[in-house]
Structures are given as C-alpha cells and as structure tokens.
Structure 1
Amino acid sequence: MMNRLTRLAAVASAVTALALSGCSSSDSGSAATNDKGFPDTITLAAVPAENSADMRASYDPLIKLLEKETGSTIEFVQASDYAGVVEGMIADNVDLAFFGPFAYVVAGINGAEITPLGAVIEEEGAEPGYQSYGLARGDNAAVNGLADFAGKNVCFVDPGSTSGFLYPTAGLIEAGVIESGSEADISAAMTPIYAGGHDASALSIKNRDCDAGFAFDSMVDETMVQKGDLAPGDLKTVWKSEMIAGSVFAANDSLGAEAVDALRKIFTEKANGKVMAAEGFCEGDACLITDERAWGVVPVDDSAYNGVRKVCEVTGSEKCKA
C-alpha cells in the first residue's frame, strides 16, 4: 500500500506510476468510510491555469467547504499536466478533479469512469463557458488573424488544453494554416511552443518569445490586467473561438453513486462565493475558487461537452484518441 506522500508524488509527477499503482483513497478494499459516507481522505487534483508556486491557496475556500461538508481530509494535488490527472482518475488515485473541457472529454475517451459535478462560472448568475483568444503583440502589424500565424513562433498552452490547444487547432484548420491537428502538420506550418500556462503563453507573446499564441479570455481580459502583468495595448486579440463549455469538476465513480450524488449537491449548492463567505472560509475578493478565479459552480450535463467532441473530430487530434 502506498503511503500518503508516495501517492501524492505519483499523481503529481509520474503518469506511469499512476497507471500501474492501482491504489487510492477510494479503493473499496482499503479505504475507511466516515459517518457521512465519504472516504476518510479525498484526493482533489488540478492543473495550473497560470504559473503559481502556491496554486493550493486559490483552492483553500473550496477545500475548507468540502472538508466541512464531507467530514473528509482533502488532499490537494497540483499535477504537472492534464495527462497526469487523467491517468490518476483511471488508476483510482484521484477522487475529484478540476478539468478543462478537453481534458474531461479525453478522460472519458481513455476509460476514466467519471461524473461531472458542475461547471464553474465567473460571477453569480452567469452561464458557464468561455472563449479561446488568438493573440499577438499590440504593435505587431504582421499578425492580424490566424492566417498570419503561418511560419511564426506560436505559443500554445498544453497539448491537453481546451482553449490553449484544441480549439486553436480547429481554428487554424479552418483558416487553412494546417491540414489536421497532428503534431507533424502543426510543426510543418509553424514553430509550436508549449508555455505550460495561459498566463505564460500571453507573457511570452508580450515579451517577444512568441510572435503569436493562445490563451483563454478572462486570463487576458481580467486576471493578468488586475495583477499588473498586462496593460492595455500590450496584446491584441486577432481571433476568438466559439463559446466553449465551462471547466468542470468531476468525481471518480469509484466513490460510489451516493457519494457522487452528495458531492454534486455540495458543489452546485454551496461551492460559491456567497456561501463560502457566510461560512467564514473567505472574505470579499478572496471568495473565489480555482486559479481561474471562478465565483462558483452550477449544474452541468455531460452533453454540454459534445461541442468539444465535435472539435476533436474536426481536428483529428491524437490527443482525443484512446
């Protein structure tokens, strides 16, 4: 049996170990269950949307809420990439995960048995969803649309990112820049650079390490401006994707149907700034969840991600395949 530290390290940095370990807090043969029907320990994994030495801090209000509502200890894992979280779910080393839409779809394609608990929204009353932006420096007169990305150094986020890779790939195909979503086609048309985070992608464009690139809307329009990383005019938006289904919290079905149903209720009814503030878990602007700085979570059905599945078909991306 893995001890706690070994299991967390496996989730965060060793995909192979995750796939082979076969041990988690939700394994029915090894996990204790508390009086609320949850495992004594629940592992929550996520991948950074932005570079951060302490991504966990942005999840603290949610973690406190979950620990109160479930009676479980929440072990938070900052995974190095989407593949690690997907493999962690498949190997039953991850109980809960915060997925981008693409990673959620890929998890299911690859055999992860998971249930969506809810999608995040930026503010109370909003609808879940966001857009991918194609970006260039504000003073770069040579890049004014996706067609101009050909032959350039282009920043993507991560091969498993919805708005930082999948939708941009579909856009580049529609613009006639590439023929398919294969790595060979992309590399033949441009020099792809994987920045690792949406903020890193935007900063690389600003700093001239990339001629153009991609990031999701609120990271560029709000988060980085509020942090002082971007000023008006630093970047220009030369392309916008269609609306993408919101990033989603999902539960490993190995938790059991009753626990999953209870978690769905917790997420959609209590994981929001209003409730978390009333509970004393956060105050004011700190009452947000995830490093996407979402206000809360609303119900979502698996069918909401059919648009992502359609883009998978359009791109023929190997990342969409089992």
Structure 2
Amino acid sequence: MKILRSLITLTVGAAAFACVATAHAEDINLGIISTDSSSVLKQRWEPLIEDMNKQTGLNVKAFFATDYAGIIEGMRFNKVQVGYFGNASAIEAVDRSQGEVFAKVQYANGDAGYYSVLITNVNSRFKTLDDVFKNTKDVTLGYGDPNSTSGTLIPGYYLFSKHNTPVNTSFKAVLPSNHEANLLAVVNNKIDIATNNTEMLDTLKKQHPDKFAQVRVLWTSPLIPSDPLVWRKDLPQATKDKLRNFFLNYAKTDPHEKAVMAAITGFSGFAASSDAQLLPIRQVALFQQKQKIENDAHLSADDRKAQLAALDAKLSALSSAQAKQ
C-alpha cells in the first residue's frame, strides 16, 4: 500500500510539475509592422508563429498595430519583445525602445534587399518622372507611414529631395497610408502616384497578375537592406538563444517551412544580422535633417551653423563605423 501511495504521489507530482511548466511558458509578443491590413498580416505570419511555439516552447503571439509607431511604442513599453521592422522603424526601436537587431529576412530570389518605387496607373497621364515634377500642384500622392523605409524615408531623400520638392507643401494632396492601400489606390486609379516597394509588387504579380498589369513604375531607388528582426536587449539570454536558433535554422530544408516563408512576401528564411545594417539608413536620415536645417529660414546663422556641425559630427561617426564593418 505504501508503494502504491508513493507511486500515486509521484504521478500526481509529475503531472503538477508539468502543468506548472506549461503555465510558466514564457510569453512573447511578436510585433509586425503594418505594411498591410492586420487580417492579411495574420494570415501570412500565423503559420510561422505556430511553428515557433512548437519548436521553442515559448508562448508567442502576434501583435499588430494600425501604424509603425504602435509597434515601436509597444516594444518601448515591453508590450512587444520581438519585432519585424523595416530599417527606418528599426532605428526608432533601437534608439527608443531598447531594441537590438539580431537577424534579417532573406529573399527566395537571392537579392540582398529590396527597392522603393514610385508607381502610377498604367493608363494615367504620367509616363515619366518629368510628367510628375513639371506640375506637382496638380498631383495627388499616396505616401507611406512616417516610419516606413520604402514608403517615406528613401523616396523622401533619393526622389523628392533630389528634385527639390518638399512633400508636405508641393502636391495637391498627400495621403499617407500603408503599402497595400496605396497599391490598390493606384490599381483602381483613385490617386495619381504612390510610393511603394518591390516586395509588394512581386506579391501582386504572383497573386493578381491582372492588377499588376495596371501598374507603371516611374522610379526605382537604390537597394534597401532586407528587413531586420529586433528583440529587446533585456530578454533573458536563454530566450534569445531559443529565438536565434529558431529563426536562423528555419526553412533551411523542411518543405513546410519553405512554403510558410514563401507565403510571407517571397521570403526564403533568415540570416544573422546586427545594428550595423542600419548604418546606411541612418546616414540618409541625417542627410534629410541637414537639408531641412539648411532650408529653415527661421533659424539664425549661429543656430544653423551649430546644428549642422552636430549633424556633420554624427555623419562622420557613421562613416567611421561603416569603414570598420
């Protein structure tokens, strides 16, 4: 009888321990920037999150917000512990939200990144960039989220600044939205032009070739580094190890995992990365700040000189950091 009671005690104790272990599975919120509607993003990312839970033992849930700032602020206040960002929003997460880049996505076509584009409807009156810039006061622009790399930062510098065209004051109307909404607005001829990126165009081409045929690309940017994954620096090391191991080994050989990645905008997997991948994007952001200061008529000569000197020092530091990579 004593042996039986001991066996029962051991069995109950083991079951209780298992329940406690399950109950204390670490909760992780994976923030995903709002490049599309939440329903579309959920459909793309949930299969990967399910695999992550199975393989890591973590309790990972998707975290969506209506704009990029929602994910950045979510990480800042520890509502988001890991995030999929663009490079510009990753800078904000690193600088303001205790974030750190640890990985980046890889593309099935082997590209090291993607491109920002300016698009219009194939039947619009805009055949070239000259058609756009000769009279911007008669043009409606679909622009990206303020923290978007390909929707705002890159075209803001490489396209609009290069043409001496301040976005906020030069167009008939500027309509900020996510990539999906801007793309559909162009396809349906609701706006004249819009910023977007080659990831979205590739997805549209695969899923809706008839709609893709309605898009004309007027401009393509220099290469943008592939999107980073960011975690909070204060995550336990054991949790970081689980996350890094999962992402860096995911979709290497397994057909199911490869299919999951392909469904997320043509990705093939993940590679290791660091904050260093943000350096060229930081340079673009600082150049934009310089242009604003140089054109700010409200600044005194001394203030302008001091602010430009501070930005030049930051640019010099970035150049030195890049040279060491």
Question: Over alpha carbons, which structure has the higher Rg?
Answer: 2
Residues 1:292 and 2:265 aligned together? yes
Q: State the partner residue of 2:320.
A: none
What does residue 175 of structure 1 align with?
Answer: 163
Deviations 1:278-305 (A, max 9, x none): xxxx377x42267434221111221111
CA distance in structure 1 between the partners assigned to 2:70 and 2:180 by the alignment: 21
Identify the match of residue 213 of structure 1 among 176, 194, 199.
194
Measure the CA separation in 2 of the matches of 1:105 and 1:158: 15
Aligned position for 2:120: 136
Is 1:163 aligned with 2:150?
yes
Please name the residue that 2:177 is paired with.
195
In the TM superposition, 1:236-255 aligns within 5 A as 236-255=216-235
Three-state SS of the structure 1 residue aligned to 2:114 is coil
Question: 1:55 deviation in Å?
Answer: 2.3
**Mapped contact 2:46–2:62 kept (Cα < 8 A):** no
What secondary structure, in the 3-state scheme, does the structure 2 residue paired with 1:118 have? Answer: strand
Of 129, 151, 155, 1:145 maps to: 129
C-alpha distance in 2, partners of 1:304/1:169?
Answer: 20
Q: TM-score, normalised by structure 1?
A: 0.75
Unaligned 5+ runs, structure 1 = 1-32, 179-185
Does the CA contact (< 8 Å) of 2:88 and 2:148 recur in 1?
A: yes
- Which protein has the bigger helix share? 2
Is residue 96–residue 252 contact of structure 1 (8 Å, CA) maintained in 2?
yes
Which one of the candidate residues 235, 249, 274 is aligned to 2:253?
Answer: 274
Q: Which of 38, 58, 64 is the equivalent residue of 2:50?
A: 64
Aligned equivalents of 2:270, 2:257: Cα separation in 1: 18
- Among 110, 118, 126, which residue is 2:103 paired with? 118
Residue matched to 1:301: 274
- Whether the 8 Å CA contact 2:34–2:68 is kept in 1: the answer is no
Q: Distance in 1 between matches of 2:262 and 2:232?
A: 20
* Counterpart-to-counterpart distance in 1, 2:212 and 2:47: 31
Residues 75-113 of structure 1 show CA distances to partners (whole Å, capped at 9, x for unaligned) of: 11122111111111111111111111110012223x221
**Mapping of residues 254-273 of structure 1, within 5 Å:** 254-270=234-250, 272=251
Per the alignment, do residues 174 and 52 of structure 1 end up closer, same or farther by CA in structure 2, a change over 3 Å counting?
Answer: same
- Superposition TM-score, scaled by structure 2 size: 0.74
Identity of aligned pairs, percent?
Answer: 21
Q: Is the 8 A contact 2:32 2:64 kept in 1?
A: yes
Deviations 1:173-228 (A, max 9, x none): 012222xxxxxxx22101211122x12212212222211111111311x2112222
Which secondary structure state, in structure 2, belongs to the residue aligned with residue 251 of structure 1? strand
Contact 1:153 1:212 (8 Å CA) reproduced:
yes
- Post-superposition Cα deviations, 1:55-81, rounded to whole Å, max 9, x if no partner, equal 222112321222123211111112211
Question: 2:297: which partner in 1?
Answer: none
